[in-house]
Amino acid sequence: MTGKVESAIGSMVGSNALKAKGLQKEQEANAIKLQTSELAEAERLEREAMMRRERAVGHGQFHSLNSQLIMILTHCNRCPPR
């Protein structure tokens, strides 16, 4: 906002230096807004990736336990009844 005001005042009084300073502040503010939105998106993607990894690990544990159970049941089915 300050950059826009300085730029407008610079235009009104004919000061190229003040106008340039205002435009520079506007560009800096826009760069910060862009960086902030990019960081927020990166953090969102990191959270999503973490949740997917946790789910994958959980599924891996389930499959590991399931395969162990199948091996036990298969072995028990081969054994003669007591």
Question: Domain limits of the chain?
Answer: 2-78
Counting Cβ atoms within 10 Å, is residue 64 exposed (0-12), middle (13-18) or buried (19+)? Answer: exposed
Which two three-digit tokens encode residue 33? 């807004």
- E strand or H helix that includes residue 59: helix 16-78
* pLDDT of the residue at 80: 61
Kindly report the CA angle at 34 between 33 and 40, in degrees rounded to 5?
A: 90
Q: Is 9 or 15 the better-scoring residue by pLDDT?
A: 15
Q: Is 26 or 10 the better-scoring residue by pLDDT?
A: 26
Distance CA 60, CA 66 (A): 10
Average confidence (pLDDT) over 36-40: 97
Reported as a single tens digit per residue, the pLDDT across 49-72 is 999 888 877 776 666 766 776 777
Question: Does the model's pTM come out above 0.85?
Answer: no
How remote is the C-alpha of 63 from its chain's centroid? 29
